[in-house]
Amino acid sequence: WPIFADDIDAILDLKRQRNAVVLAHNYQTPEIFHCVADIVGDSLALARKAMTVEADVIVLAGVHFMAETAKLLNPGKTVLIPDTAAGCSLAESITPEDVRRLRQCHPGVPVVTYVNTSAAVKAESDICCTSGNAKAVVEALGVPRVIMLPDEYLARNIAAETDVEIITWQGHCEVHELFAPADIRQLREDHPGVTVLAHPECPPDVVAEADFAGSTAAMSDYVARQKPSRVVLMTECSMSDNVAVDHPEIEFIRPCNLCPHMKRVTLANIRAALEQNRHEVTIAPEVAGRARLAVERMLAI
């Protein structure tokens, strides 16, 4: 990719000079994912790997809650987010006050919080989960009912797989809520034999019509293991682009929706982050301790 060569070379140099690593989510564009990232993965893998980073600086090529999670788990490092406006509609959907009110309405019911939330919301929670471990977390609590927030669809999709009763919130991912069951029917008609994989942030009627539902890492593993001849990933656009690079023999059908927050991160602002040490992620100490506990409880499962 010659148009990116200047920024890529600069970022590789800056990483060496600053003893920095780039952690990139699976929704980052291929030139970031394949050319400058040291560690790639889903939210769960990025959290786990952030914890063991030894470099001085972590650049989180992803959205803000992912950078906060890295900072919570490795607080001695400088964590940079290339664009502070890289948010998430799920994280925006709930406040710490909302969590406190929910607890009042359901006394004694544990709160399981999706990592796609602010550190302040995590701090009000008993434990976190990601799309990759939500069922395991809910069941590990050993209780008949949990509050799972803020993603209504993830909660309903997990509720369909467990006997634990789940009380949810009305947050939605602005990317995955756009997929509909009619899209899957049309895809199957237009591309006979296509295998349909969906992210569990999709509405339950979409997940019900898919062949498999799982986190971004689980979708990637499914493709590598099952090697379907044609596949569609009902998720963010860059996911197919990144997975397709490793599987030239597989036909990727690509209707997709862009996450405007993920797309705020570019090679240019990763380079600027390293050159100017911007934008450093900080978490108020009164929030950090409790939020860290919720994330660490999740990682212990």
Contact partner, 121, from ligand SF4, ligand 13P, none, Cβ < 5-8 Å per class: none
Q: Which of residues 138-197 bind ligand SF4 (CB under 6 A)?
A: 173-175
Site string for ligand SF4, 105-144 (x = CB under 6 A): -----------x----------------------------
175 is in an annotated binding site: no
> Residue 131 annotated as binding?
yes
Q: Which residue has the tokens 């709930």?
A: 94
* Contact call for residue 261 and ligand SF4 (CB under 6 A): yes
What the block records as the tokens of 87 is: 């948010």
The size of the chain, in residues, is 301
- Fill in the DSSP letter of residue 20: E
Q: Please say which residue, 92 or 251, places its beta carbon nearer to ligand SF4.
A: 92
CA separation for the pair 115, 150 (Å, rounded): 9
- Considering the rule CB under 6 A, would residue 63 count as an interface residue with ligand SF4? yes
Helix spans in 124-280 (H): 134-140, 152-159, 181-190, 204-209, 216-226, 237-245, 267-276
Residue 174 interacting partner from ligand 13P, ligand SF4, none (CB closer than 5 to 8 Å by kind): ligand SF4
Determine the Cα angle at 72 with ends 66 and 78, to 5°: 85
Identify residues 211-240 at the interface with ligand 13P (CB under 6 A): 215-216
Identify which of residues 71 and 261 has a Cβ nearer to ligand SF4 in the complex.
261
Residues 6+ apart with CB under 8 A from 261: 63, 85, 86, 87, 88
Q: DSSP letters of 100-158?
A: HHHHHHSTT--EEEESSS-HHHHHT-SEEE-TTTHHHHHHHT--SEEEEESBHHHHHHH
Whole-number Å distance between alpha carbons of 190 and 200: 24
Instruction: Give yes or no for residue 70 binding ligand SF4 (CB under 6 A).
Output: no
Side-chain-side CA neighbours of 206 within 13 Å: the count stands at 24
Find tokens 């977390």 and name the residue.
Answer: 137
Residue 35 assigned as binding residue:
no
92 lines the binding site for ligand SF4 (CB under 6 A): no
Q: Is 173 annotated as a binding residue?
A: yes
d(CA 115, CA 171): 13
261 is in the binding site of which of ligand SF4, ligand 13P, none (Cβ under 5 to 8 A by kind)? Answer: ligand SF4
From the list 13-21, 41-49, 77-85, 121-129, the region that binds ligand 13P by CB under 6 A is: 41-49
Spatial strand order of the sheet with 57-61 comes to 39-41, 20-25, 57-61, 78-80
Interaction of residue 218 with ligand SF4, rule CB under 6 A: no
Taking the complex as a whole, the smallest distance from the CB of residue 145 to ligand 13P amounts, in Å, to: 24
Binding site annotation covers 29? no
Q: Based on CB atoms, which residue is closest to ligand SF4, 67 or 164?
A: 67
Which residue, 68 or 201, is less far from ligand 13P as judged by CB?
Answer: 201
Collapsing DSSP to helix, strand or coil, 202 comes out as coil
DSSP 39: E
Backbone angles phi, psi at 25, to 5 degrees: -75, 160
Binding site listing for [4Fe-4S] cluster: 88, 173, 259
Binding site listing: 25, 43, 88, 114-116, 131, 173, 199-201, 216, 259
Q: Which residues bind ligand SF4 (CB under 6 A)?
A: 63, 88-90, 116, 173-175, 201, 236, 259, 261-262
Q: Which residues bind ligand 13P (CB under 6 A)?
A: 26, 42-44, 116, 130-132, 173, 199, 201, 215-216
